[in-house]
Chain A
Amino acid sequence: MKFKYFKYTFLASAISLGACTDLEPEIFSDVLKDNYFQNEAQFGTLVANAYSQLLGEYGYVYREGYWSMQEYTADAVIVPTRGSDWWDNGVPIMMHGHTWEYDTRDVNNGWSFVYGGVGKCNEVLDNIVLLKGDDESAYDEGTVSAIAETKILRAFYHMLAMDLYGNVAIVRSSSDTPRQYTRKEVFDFVEQEILDNMGMLPEAKNYGRITKGVAHAILAKLYINAEVYTGTARWADCIAQCEEVMDPNYGYSIDSDYFNVFSVNNTNNAEIIFPIVFDATYAKGNMFHLMTLHYVQQEVYGFTTQTWNGPCTTHSYLDKYEDTDLRKAQFFHGEIRDKSGKMMTYTIPADLTNGVVEHLVDAVITPQITSIRDVTKSNTFEGARFVKFEIEEGIDHHANNDFPIYRLADIYLMKAEAEIRLYGQVKDITYVNQLRSRAGVSLYNTANLSLDEMIEERARELAWEGHRRQDLIRFGMFTGGKYLWPWKGAKPSDTPTDNTTGKATSEIRNLFPIPKWVRDANSGVYQQNPGY
């Protein structure tokens, strides 16, 4: 009797045991790599990865990364600390004043940005091989051009890295161990990659992607700075590349309205060569309106989120524009009025220790910045604000305006500059004069368009587009005492109202230090740049 029960129990246990050792995972809402990349549409999403590094809040226009390294560091952008807003541990002041260190936030982020981009390109190339097989000769045209596009984009990221940090790594594949190359070696790599792959790119313009025209523009930018990068000037090559871009077959042309290039619906604008295509819904990252506008302006434009009242421009930069220059309107100053025309107001809080009582002020933006750090917030309205990108009402954090990395106006200016440097004067002044007449100012002639004037015109035309630092370095004005701007040379610990004219900074600042985290993670690989 006892035994019989025993037997049944064991049988029951054995049956349940069998089923009860199953530990296979069940997937419901996650997508596994094995289930994806099965068709052409999904393949297309792979290549998109190479470009995605440029987009997003932390991409090319990141105010705490690449863009800050190229624009905070000169006179076009200044970020005063207003009360305790935008103090950020002194980083914006360090960037503007050339007192950054090897572990400063923006310096760190810049490296992650460029090499993150390189990594994404390499991953795309690896995945293309995985999906399409090893036999390169069997690739179809779409795959071949996708590979070329990715390689040129990878070269572009390397160019940015070399521009910022000098002697950096060349990473040709995911399995490369990092090695430091000289700036010249990186330059040569970038040049060679673009030349080798250009032939496989589509001729026709495809707004948003790298086509032949875009590749020529990148080369033009590479060559104009060749003397800075390698010591050897390449003005003639730059001119040649610019002329390629200007070939009417590519279809680039100067827009008759300066501000149209930066309008809300500037997608497919004929003047833009290499855009970052932003969209408030689909492709986020353009947050200029939040960065620069004052708090009270949220209501004026009906934004669904509060603005940040941060970066603005120096009065010395604003003064570069004649009063008749239409481009001066890209910096807003003056009274802030609401939709009905009523003056807006703002409450400055009290700070008795510093002699400030709470009071209401009219909302008036003034170009003159009195203090780079005002704990009382009295400087809340100081500094002209950046409104080059058309401001769209009712948006949230992200705007729709595309950001032009390279546009035709830049090509015209580079060609003219290279010609002056090579021949002493511009060959055909009508191109630059298109920009002048569009801006409503007097035209140049070969006599008054000198190098000194060139740098000023570039400042006026390309403000806040990420070229300022490169241009100033090329003209020898970035560091040293030849060219000063308010708070050049400032340290976060300085008395805030000192140094309103700026002072000379050391030549070492023409290069950023290799970030400490990079050198620590790859011990012995990177020699630090001089002076750091």
Chain B
Amino acid sequence: MKYTIFKYDSLRAFFLITGLMFLLPAFAQQNINFKGTVVDDFGDPLIGVNVQVEGTTDGTTTDFDGNFTLGVNSNSVLILTYVGYDKTEFKVDGKKSAIIKLKESSIALNEVVAIGYGSQTKKELTGSIASVKAEDFVKGVVANPMGLVQGKVAGLNIIKKGGGDPAQNNYEVQLRGVGSLKGNSEPLYIIDGVAGGDLSSIQSSEIESIDVLKDGSAAAIYGTRANHGVILITTKRGKAGQSSIEYNGGVSTSTISNKLRVLNASEYREYMGGDLGADTDWLDAITRTPIKTYHNVALSGGTENFSYRSAISYRYMEGLAVKSDYEEINARFAANQKALNNLLEVAYDFNYTSSKKNWVDYDNFNQALQLNPTQPIYADPSSANYEKYNGYYESDAFAGHYWNPVADIDNTESHEKYKVFLGSVRASLNLTKNLKFTSFYTLQQQGKWNGKYQSAYSRRVEGKNGVASQSQENNQTQTIENTLQFTESWKNHNFSAIIGQSYQYNEYSNFGANNSNFPIDDLLYNNLGIGENLQTGNSELMGMGSSKYTDKLASFFARVVYNYNQKYFLNISARMEGSSKFGPKAHKTLGRWGIFPAVSGSWRISEEGFMQDLGIFDDLKLRVGYGVTGNMPSDSYLYLMRVGQTGEPLYSNGAFVRPWGATSNINEYIRWEKKEEYNIGIDFAILKNRIRGSIDGYVRNTSDLLWEYDVPVPPYPTDKKWDNYGKLRNYGFEVALSGDILRAKNYSLSMNIVGAFNRNEVVKITGGEYAENNPGYLNVGYISSGSGETGNYVMRLQQGSPIGNFYGWKYYGINSKGQWVFETPDGGYTTSPTESQKQILGNALPDFTYGFGFNGSYKNFDASVNFRGQFGGLIFNESRYFYENKIDGNNVLYSAVDPKNDASRLNDIRRFSDFYLEDATFLKCSDLTIGYNFSLDNKYVKKARVFVNCQNVFTITGYSGVDPEVSMNGLTPGFDSRSYYPAERSFEFGASLTF
């Protein structure tokens, strides 16, 4: 009997004890306040590491010392994630504190890259996408964010427009060769998701990274605006738990980096004769030593649910030319907010820039080249025209082509004010773990105002007694975008998809008025109505005008991204887009709409067993992609029959009657230019990811090129018609390499190199109905033969040839009579060449472009240097064409009189030949920076750094002109104009502090 009870009791006891044992941990599961410190391989604290308690939503981030505190249970597992480091799990195991070491992961692979409507890690990319992070940007002051990646992306050629002019803050940006003949040739800029964002609305120091979607498969998701590549700019945002105030500032000055050697006064007297008595260095007279300064302050901080970043900056830049300057103030506020228990996320971004510019006419630099150096700047008070020109000396040569540049700069006020506001609000609803709906609204408003006044003393408007004008332009773009994203993984299949809709409305308007004959100069352009010439009604002396147009862009897009085991990746996307700029018959069935599909895939060969056995590659990936993108026409109404004033008025019954008629030919088929691109690439990393690189090869076929054709009148009402007819082809390859050469606790050195080769061919520009009036070639690149003389075309665009072929006579020599001797195509020689004896002289475009840079640090010092350059290419040295010839009697280059130079024997009119074409190979050191980071140990200042920076350090080239980096875009690459704003070499001292 006792037995049986005991047995029951044992069983109960067993359960009791076991139960208690289970309960025990519950008692033991009190909340521990766990204190942890997260460090890296070297033992240095890591800031901002994400620490999450597994299975809960509890989490925090590490502070500036790498410390964190979290309430956990003794058997909690902490998940630590941090960009660039392996995801680490840490078992609390009852501990109260610990130091947790994170291992640096293959940085490159886990780097996050923006790909348009989302982001992927480098590992997952299937298209050709280049990513440049803030630490690799070009250092020093740049005109706009594109300057930060000059020479950093293979195949992306960036050239500053306007030389050293601070008011000209645009770059010419060209990706993978010339992509369009007459259409738009700018890439699409996406700023934090806003397509078509204005680059002047953001500060360079606020940019986190710039990603370039290079090939068709990556860019196709942007449809009709993506032919020239898509550049995604991501700005810095606030991070939870990290409050900081950052200050950056600097001051710099610059000098003219290179001058052309013209004759000085005594040389002019000797070689040219004639003496007006003075000794003038014209270039010196119109330039000065400028000073530039900038300051910006950024605040960021926040909590889990609300984080923000805001920044204010101020910039003032004087230019080399007297009076030329640029002043800008920019403010930014960006915030992220979570609500509804992380169901709703809202992000806002507001950017505002207001700037003022003082423009100087570049033609004054041409005057500085050609004016007589013995001509005085100021006139003698007793001379006849002293009062007339306000004390300046003006020669009596033709006023349209010769004037005193010092006087012109003094007599002209050319001002511009520019404001841009870019704001966006994005709301995301996390419907489920896998499904997210986002709605995005953006507004961009740009306003430009120009005012110009040329005083009564100005020779250029002599007789008009003062000319004033004001004009304004406004552009407003609104976009609304809705997307639905879905992600799911099961087993080794990872799948994500996005479908979306977008609608953009663009409104542009402008207004301008001008008048002349002002009673006093002091009013400048502020009182237009007071000019006497308003009464004349003569459009040569006064006038006004305005215009307005709008366009709409609607699209639907979808993308599916799939990978199997992070080894095989597939990316398919399609965008269906329509615009009010396309004619109603643009597409056979879809009318105003087009479809832009893309497919790309990649294979991480390095994950395969056989590759891992080989042990060479840490990463080896093969990418293949195909995509279709488009390019918009610029005119909004090419398919509508417009009428307007078509000629001078008829006098009838005592009054003038203006004729009205068709002003444009309609084309109901007008549509986008279409580019199909095939891309194949290999990404690799070796030596434990110390060396990483990629090689890409591509073929791009652009068809339906927009061109304005000559058409016969009759039957057409007017003689020009826009149509999509031509074809253009580009192919090439790109190489990019980056390497950590040295990496240790106290020092590091890394390097990156990019190089690109590109060839283009104009496959077709005419044919069919246009063949009769438009031959298979076009003469482009018009250049006058002297001051206002009828001139010539120096380039020929020909079917079957690349863009940029120079076309003219082939130089042989200069004979004893000083005449040009040219070689004729049939092997003879002539001194009086005819049009038919011209031939192709060479191509302006380079064979190979490259860039490379080094980034290093030693203890507290850091240094970086960047280079870029090209091999091959030809430049037409316009200054030599005009000023290496004594025919006009103006000032000339020294090479026109230097006995070592053939041109000194010249006694002939100006003729264009390859005598004026020079090789464009160069190597330029674009910037050099040395900085010092103070080791700080106080509660207030977290980081402090000072640096010196030099931009445009030196250039090695055989080119005899000022700067071999000339425009490479459009129909006429390779022109080095004689009216150029000098390029500058600048020296900067700056500091940055973080509190």
Spell out A's residues near B (CB within 8 Å): 2, 5-6, 9, 12-13, 16-17, 19-34, 36-37, 42, 44-49, 51-53, 55-56, 59, 83-89, 91, 103, 105, 116, 119-120, 122-123, 127, 171, 173-176, 206-209, 267, 275, 277, 279-285, 295-296, 298, 302-306, 345-347, 349-354, 356-358, 375-377, 394, 396-398, 493, 520-523
Contact = CB atoms under 8 A, between A and B. Distances in A.
Interface of B: 271-276, 395-400, 429, 431-432, 435, 437, 461-464, 480, 482, 484, 501-503, 509, 516, 536-541, 546-552, 554, 578-580, 582, 592, 636-637, 640-644, 646-653, 656-662, 712-715, 717, 772-773, 775, 785-792, 818, 832, 835, 886-890, 907, 909-910
B536 A20 contact: no
Contact of B647 (A5, A52, A174): A52
A351 B886 contact: yes
B932 to A, nearest CB: 54
A103 B835 contact: yes
A27 B644 CA distance: 14
Nearest to A352: B273
Given A304-B463, A350-B273, A397-B540, A48 B649 contact: yes
A89 B782 CA distance: 14
A25 B637 contact: yes
A30 B637 contact: yes
Interface SS of chain A: loop
Contacts of B548: 28-29
A79 to B, nearest CB: 12
B92 to A, nearest CB: 34
B396 A346 contact: yes
B578 A304 contact: no
Contact of A33 (B636, B653, B662, B907): B662
- Nearest 3 A/B pairs, CB to CB: A358-B274, A52-B647, A349-B889
Contact of A6 (B431, B649, B787): B431
Contact of A23 (B592, B652, B909): B592
Nearest to B548: A28
Given A123-B714, A304-B462, 10 more contacts: A5-B437, A27-B640, A44-B652, A45-B657, A52-B650, A123-B713, A175-B714, A267-B651, A285-B648, A376-B889
Contact of B887 (A27, A47, A53, A84): A84
A24 B772 CA distance: 35
Contact of A358 (B273, B435, B835): B273
Q: In the complex, which of the residues B437, B538, B582, B792 has the most CB atoms of chain A within 10 Å of its own CB atom? A: B538
A208 B648 CA distance: 13
A277 B480 CA distance: 56
Contacts of B273: 350-352, 356-358
B546 A29 contact: yes
A89 B541 CA distance: 32
A256 B541 CA distance: 36
A55 B714 contact: no
Contacts of B578: 21, 23
Nearest to B835: A103
B587 to A, nearest CB: 12
A377 to B, nearest CB: 7
Q: In the complex, which of the residues A24, A89, A394 has the most CB atoms of chain B within 10 Å of its own CB atom? A: A89
Contact of B464 (A30, A304, A354): A304
A9 B775 contact: no
B46 to A, nearest CB: 37
A31 B636 contact: no
Given A46-B659, A52-B647, A87-B785, A119 B714 contact: yes
Contact of A48 (B432, B437, B538, B659): B659
B299 to A, nearest CB: 35
B661 A84 contact: no
Contact of A123 (B551, B657, B661, B889): B661
7 contacts: A2-B435, A30-B642, A44-B652, A46-B661, A277-B650, A282-B649, A353-B818
B647 A53 contact: yes
B641 A33 contact: yes
Contacts of A45: 657-660
Nearest to A394: B463
B659 A89 contact: no
B480 A16 contact: yes
Nearest to B886: A353
A309 to B, nearest CB: 8
B674 to A, nearest CB: 18
B499 to A, nearest CB: 9
A75 B636 CA distance: 52
B798 to A, nearest CB: 16
Nearest to A360: B396
A283 B890 contact: no
Nearest to B647: A52
Given A28-B548, A84-B910, A304-B464, A352 B536 contact: no
B714 A23 contact: no
Contacts of B651: 207-209, 267, 275, 277, 279, 283
B889 A377 contact: yes
Contacts of B640: 25, 27, 30, 32
Given A22-B552, A105-B790, A295-B398, A116 B713 contact: yes
Contact of A2 (B431, B516, B907): B431
A59 B659 CA distance: 15
Contacts of A282: 648-649, 656
B554 A22 contact: yes
Q: In the complex, which of the residues B274, B399, B552, B714 has the most CB atoms of chain A within 10 Å of its own CB atom? A: B714
Nearest to A345: B396
Given A5-B429, A84-B888, A89-B785, A23 B579 contact: yes
